[in-house]
Structure 1
Amino acid sequence: MDENLTDAIVMNLVVNSGEARSLAMEAIELAQQGQFDEADAKIAAAHETINAAHNFQTELVQTEINGGSVPMSLLMCHGQDHLMTAMVVIDLAEKFIAVYRKMAQ
């Protein structure tokens, strides 16, 4: 895979993962304020955005599966780190929202 294309894919991985993480954090804040419909909407948006990021990761993985080469770089590590962190934050945000929802009952 061309290095410029790889870098572009990884940057999309970073951008989408960062956005998904931010949306999940916003969802927690909304739930804390009792705004559960808005929190649910933010989590839904976070899932859409993390799915986009995951699709970029899948493109890289499939390149290697098909015999291509994907160069490992600090940028690649950074992108993977963002993806995994965002996925964990989304999972935890869903738990926080459930707790805040239960506390509001």
Structure 2
Amino acid sequence: MDKEEVAMIGFQIVAYSGEARSKYIEAIRNLKEGGSKEKTLQLISEGDEKLTKAHNTQTELLSREADGEEIELGFIFVHGQDHLMTTVLLKDMLDFIMDIYK
């Protein structure tokens, strides 16, 4: 897989995890402002869907490499990994925040 193909996968990961991050931040903001629990849970669910897509995109590439395919990594993919990791951390923190607001 050449660098351009890997870059496109990196862009997908950035997009999906960015959308998830936005939903999680919106959920936190909704909690902070006293919004409904239903809306908060809906936003989290929407974020989870996007985070799953980002993770599945990453897993597909990792599987291809594990199967022996040559993968030419570039900075865009690394950037995507960074976005994914920070969004996963935000999701973990959101779980703790939800406990605080119960």
Could you tell me which residue of structure 1 aligns to residue 70 of structure 2?
69
Could you tell me which residue of structure 2 aligns to residue 58 of structure 1?
59
Are the aligned partners of 1:19 and 1:49 in contact in 2 as well (CA < 8 Å)?
Answer: yes
Could you tell me which residue of structure 2 aligns to residue 5 of structure 1?
5
Structure 1 residue ranges without an equivalent (≥5) = none
Are the aligned partners of 1:43 and 1:94 in contact in 2 as well (CA < 8 Å)?
Answer: no
Q: Quote the offset at 1:72 in angstroms.
A: 2.0
1:29-75 deviation line (CA, Å, top 9, x unaligned): 11112221111111111111000000110111011011101112111
Q: Quote the offset at 1:27 in angstroms.
A: 0.5
CA distance in 2, matches of 1:62, 1:37: 37
Are the aligned partners of 2:6 and 2:73 in contact in 1 as well (CA < 8 Å)?
Answer: no
Could you tell me which residue of structure 2 aligns to residue 33 of structure 1?
33
3-state DSSP of counterpart to 1:56:
helix
Go from structure 1 to structure 2 and tell me whether the alpha carbon gap of 1:94 and 1:86 turns closer, same or farther (over 3 Å shift).
same
Kindly report the root-mean-square deviation, in angstroms, between the aligned alpha carbons of the 2 structures.
Answer: 1.1
CA distance in 1, matches of 2:91, 2:55: 14
Identity %: 35
3-state DSSP of counterpart to 1:70:
coil
CA distance in 1, matches of 2:23, 2:11: 18
CA distance in 2, matches of 1:20, 1:14: 10
Equivalent residue pairs, number: 101
Structure 2 residue ranges without an equivalent (≥5) = none
Q: Which moved more, 1:46-55 or 1:65-74?
A: 65-74
